[in-house]
Amino acid sequence: MIADDGARLADRQQIHDLIVTYCRGIDRLQLDLVRGVYHPGAVDHHTGFDGPVEEYLPWLRPMLEKYDGTMHVVANHFVEFAGPRAVSETYGFAVHWGSPPDDPRVNFTSGFRYVDLLDCRDGRWGIIERHAVREWTHSDVQLLMSPEDRGPRGARTPDDVVFKQLARIRSGSPESSSGTSAT
């Protein structure tokens, strides 16, 4: 989409959806989602990596697996268009936690900006170049505490509640996980 104001609004939403899909893929270790936000031949510039997305993904998995979990939260999102191209700037922060709890290399929070150059090809926006700009990092050593009570916990596997809920709606199951109707 590239024409009127309504189309631009749809374009902005599609680009924002790319950003949050990327974050979900990172946090849930679903690298197929990460791959899907880039057009073929895209380039990524991250802390510790600079190169084609086809090399970024194999580099990324072992980097993410050293953490027990991550959570990427995005905030301000600005897009400027120029025909079938756009630049998106997204502010956010990412929390990383792992073992041992006193290791600052696996227990930290960082502030970042994703500065993305995007292209619209056949009606689909995709990243062709990403700069993941690290603005700041602080150590979270010894700040993680045990859960205060029983309740759902996140997982980086198909056991995570989001995947279970998605499977339910995709199968057409009307039942909630407690066995009662979800109307």
In a domain, 84, yes or no: yes
pLDDT exceeds cutoff 60 at 1: no
Q: Which residue has the higher pLDDT, 78 or 153?
A: 78
In a domain, 179, yes or no: no
Q: State how far the alpha carbon of 45 is from the alpha carbons of 21, 110, 146, in Å.
A: 18, 16, 35
Whole-number pLDDT of residue 182: 43
Domain span holding position 136: 5-145
In a domain, 181, yes or no: no
In a domain, 150, yes or no: no
**85-137: pLDDT as tens digits:** 999 999 999 999 999 989 999 999 999 999 999 999 999 999 999 999 999 99
CATH number for the domain spanning 18: value is: 3.10.450.50
**31-42: pLDDT as tens digits:** 999 999 999 999
Whole-number pLDDT of residue 55: 97
Q: Determine the average pLDDT of the residues in 12-24.
A: 98
Give the total number of structural domains in the chain: 1
In a domain, 34, yes or no: yes
In this prediction the pTM is 0.86
**141-176: pLDDT as tens digits:** 977 777 777 777 788 878 888 888 888 888 887 676
In a domain, 41, yes or no: yes
In a domain, 158, yes or no: no
In a domain, 161, yes or no: no
